[in-house]
Each structure stands twice: as structure tokens, then as C-alpha cells.
Amino acid sequence: MTERVRIVRPWEWARPERPARREVLTVVPELEAAKPPLLFVPGFGHGAWAFAEHWLGHAASRGFPAYALSLRGHGASAPAPEATLRSYTHDVVQAAAGLPRQAVLVGHGAGARVVAHALARYPARAAVLVAPVLGGWGTFGTALRRNPVGTLPAVFGGRLRLHRRQLFSRELPDGEARGYVSRLGRAGRRAQWQLVTGRQPEPAVGRPPVLVLGSPDDRVVSPSALTRAARRYASAPLLFPGMGHDLMLDARWREPIDAILDWLEKDPAPAAG
């Protein structure tokens, strides 16, 4: 079967995305191990700091050059209250294109949706979707049931507010959890709405292997949503029971990142055409 990839996007030529200052945090191995670089993309409200806490250093300790991007309007990147999913996708593609070798894209939460769009524009070596929030009305319904007070303001352009119980397990000390929650920012109001109503991602360039992982106890992403996300890439989700949505910050953060790195060290092959 011949893969059909859309190359020409007239609207992007007519209205190119505005450049923005991007924060990229970097940790590289002490010795070169010829392993692919990892580009971590946080979800809405999170910045590169969320991966700098544990995952960047751990990946580098196992020989992987590790980079974490703050999408525009997040972390120390330039403010962007009117950012769209297209803006965020542009940030990821530009950051990945600037890395020394073909990168693995790792997206968390809504950042996984951004990575899915970026895969149609950047020929990634592989991709990992961590607790993916891939959007749609089902995602909105789940969020509204589980966190109505925090979700409703986002519908009207306000900030999406996530709380400790949604993001972390009870194993994480309250002091650490409160500290992380206090660092959360906000995504662009248009991007928040597009997460619900926007179009689905186009097919990935080169059909890279995609790993989907999450927790069956996640209070943001349901187990059925994890399964649907994995089926989209002809796989099954890798599950970590007892963890919250922010796997990279939760008490047992080491387990999922080690699983990701183990998978990459097996050098997964591209999907068959």
C-alpha cells in the first residue's frame, strides 16, 4: 500500500506561524553513546521543568541526549495567550529540527496531541505518548464529570485548573504535590478549545513506531481512552497502576521512563506500510 502524506498545505504558506522564543532545557550524557535524542513535550499548563525534575537526568544517565521544550506561553518561553494547536505544533517541529540527530518525540497529556500533529511534519525516529489527551468531546465529558469546577472556566476562555488528586497518586507527599500544582500555568484559550473541537492529526511521516503508556488510575485520561489511543497506532497501552496523570512527577516516576528507554533500546522498527 502506498502511503499518502500531505506535503503542500496552502493555508500554512499563506499564513505562516509567527516565530516565538522557546525554552529548551538540555541534559546530555557524559559519554557519547550514539543513542537518539529525546524531545519531551509537556501538556497544557506544564513547562519543561516538569521533565527536568527527574526524566531528563535519568534519560541522560542511560546514554540518551534529553531535551525538554516549553511550548510558547509556558515555562520560560515567550507569552502567547492566543496560541493555537498549530502554534504549538510549529514549536515542536522547529525544536526537533534543531537537534543534532533524528529525534524521538515524547508528549505528555495534551502535549501528546501536539506530538501527534508534529509527526505529520517531522520524520521522527519514534514517538511516545504518555497519558495522552488526544481531544474530542469524549475528553471534555470526562474532564467535566471529574473536575467540573476546574473545567468549565476553560470552555469560556479561562484557565483549566487541575488539582492534586487528578495529577498525582497518594504516594507523592502533599508538600511536593502542592509545589508542582503551584507551578502550573495556562494554555492559550484557542488551543484549549481546539483540543475539544479541532481536527484529528494527519498520518505520520514515515510511519514511526509509537508507544502509548499511562495509568488505569489516571483521573484525567480514562482506561478506555488509553486503549483507543493505542489502537490508533496498532498497539496496546503499557499501564502503570497506582500512578496519577503526571507520571513524570509522581512518586514512582522511574518506572515509566525506564520502560520508555527499554523500549527504545530494542530499536523498534517503523510500522509496515
Decide if 5 is inside a domain.
Answer: no
pLDDT of residue 195: 82
Residue 10 lies in a domain: no
pLDDT digits (tens, 9 = 90+) for 147-188: 555 555 555 556 666 778 889 999 999 999 999 999 999 888
In a domain? residue 179: yes
pLDDT digits (tens, 9 = 90+) for 107-122: 999 999 999 999 999 9
Residue 27 lies in a domain: yes
Structurally, how many domains does the chain consist of?
1
Q: What is the mean pLDDT of residues 72-93?
A: 95
Q: Is residue 102 assigned to a domain?
A: yes
Residue 15 lies in a domain: no
CATH assignment of the domain containing 114: 3.40.50.1820
CA–CA dist 142, 119 (Å, integer): 26
User: Is residue 39 helix, strand or coil?
Assistant: strand
Helices (H), the chain: 10-14, 49-52, 55-61, 85-97, 110-118, 137-146, 148-155, 164-167, 174-182, 189-197, 223-232, 254-265
Does residue 229 register a pLDDT over 70?
A: yes
**Cα gap 71→65, rounded to integer Å:** 19
Q: Which domain holds residue 49?
A: 21-265
Residue 6 domain-assigned? no
Considering the domain boundaries, does residue 125 fall inside one? yes
Please report the pLDDT score of residue 8 as a whole number. 47
